[in-house]
Chains A and B, each alone.
Chain A
Amino acid sequence: MGGVTVTALDAAWADRWLRECARVLAERREELIELDRAIGDGDHGENMDRGFRAVVAKLDEGPSESVAAALKLAAMTLMGKVGGAAGPLYGTAFLRASVAAGDRDKLDGPAVEAVLAAARDGIVARGKAEPGDKTMVDAWSPAVKAAATPADGEAALEAAASAAEAGAQATKPLVARKGRASYLGSRSVGHLDPGAISTAYILRAAVTAAVSEISAGDVE
């Protein structure tokens, strides 16, 4: 019998999440570069790929002791290695998320919401953007809202990732009001915001890391 196993959202999950981010962002590097070239400076894909590759290099030194430790490791590394706005924004997000995770061994539904809300609040504080400004806040904000309903952690992550994907797609008709794209004004309309898209990938990676496909042979 094949199936899907949901794993606990513990330190090992957090490490898998970050590695999955690195894998997906490497795969989506060119796509993010193209999106950013349309309305920004074209470096988002490269920066995210470089940043998460550096995170993986740190993880290779040994497994994280807690969810908070993994998130903090990501924060410190992204701040230092990602140029452009994404560095301080994602760095702040992971740092605040790490604080919110606290000393929990694993995250349940309410903890997932708390961690995502802290990340979003950090991004809002750092970038001063509001929903509708055509930024990554347009993915984070619905994600946090969606994570509030489900009871267990994996379902909360799934709801957040889906809401982030919808939020990211909804940036297309918006006029950019923050960041380099805001200099383009109405010419930014019709393009997806690369930061909202990378946010959707990062949150989807959290789900992938929580759900492991196992083959029939592995099941008793």
Chain B
Amino acid sequence: MSPVGLLIVSHSVRLAEGVVELAEQMAPSVPLVAAGGTDDGGVGTSFEKVMKGIAEADQGAGVVVIADLGSAIMTAESVLEFLDDEQRSRVRLADAAIAEGAVAAAVAAESGAGLDAVVRAAEEAVPGAEPEEAPEVAEPSESAVLTLSNRTGLHARPAAVLAGRLSQLDAEVTINGVDAQSVMALMALGAKKGEQLVVEAWGAEAAKAVRLVREQVERGFGEV
């Protein structure tokens, strides 16, 4: 099954294309479509571009739409009102920040997440938000202290790999206290080569989760 697609709706042609460019680095197999500007490329949004964009991004698994300012959202909603019920059932409009949301959604889609999970990833990627406190629960069932050895540390691609794979496991995982299933939270750590990562996991697949992080860190995310 092809991954969930993403449609980026912006008032600006270049902004929409730029967000797609940013997101596709992390998600090469996700259908990413830009619908920026009016029909003639001016500032504004186009009903027709959004309509076509949804059809293009929907390869069977549905589409998550992320829009910038209010009227882009209204245009997207109007298009939704026009779709037939069958197609509309596969389209979600995320209430998300356009750049952060698109990157997080693309990573989630790349890792095989379903429509609702991709929407959640987009909506939870809030710029400037404090990382959530790790839940005050019992001792983690699994933990490890690892040292980053790859040259660039925990930058975007490794963060995407970790968050994407961990989100498929039945486990709560934190790295240095932040949600390891959130690519934005991992990137925000800014962990560099030589730094230590404290990995803690809870849940049925906690051991598997810690093993996954250990393997990735030890092989330097394939960058060593």
Contacts and interface: CB of A to CB of B under 8 A. Distances in A.
B78 A92 contact: yes
Nearest to A125: B77
Contacts of A79: 47, 75, 78, 82
Interface of A is mostly: helix
Interface stretch (A1-9, A81-89, A165-173): A81-89
A95 B77 CA distance: 13
Given A41-B43, A47-B44, A83-B46, A92 B70 contact: no
A178 B77 CA distance: 17
A92 B45 contact: no
A151 to B, nearest CB: 33
Contacts of A80: 39, 46-48
Contact of A83 (B38, B70, B78): B38
A121 interface: no
B88 to A, nearest CB: 15
A91 B70 contact: no
B44 A83 contact: yes
A36 B42 CA distance: 17
User: Looking at A92, A126, A178, which has the most chain B CB atoms within 10 Å of its CB?
Assistant: A126
B86 interface: no
A83 B81 contact: no
B12 to A, nearest CB: 12
A89 B74 contact: yes
Interface residues of A, number: 20
Contact of A85 (B39, B43, B47, B71): B71
Contacts of B77: 88, 126
A89 B38 CA distance: 16
A88 B44 contact: no
A84 B44 contact: yes
Interface in B158-206: none
A110 interface: no
B83 interface: no
A87 B70 CA distance: 12
Given A80-B39, A127-B74, A91 B69 contact: no
Contact of B70 (A43, A47, A81, A179): A179
Interface of B: 38-39, 42-48, 69-71, 74-75, 77-78, 81-82
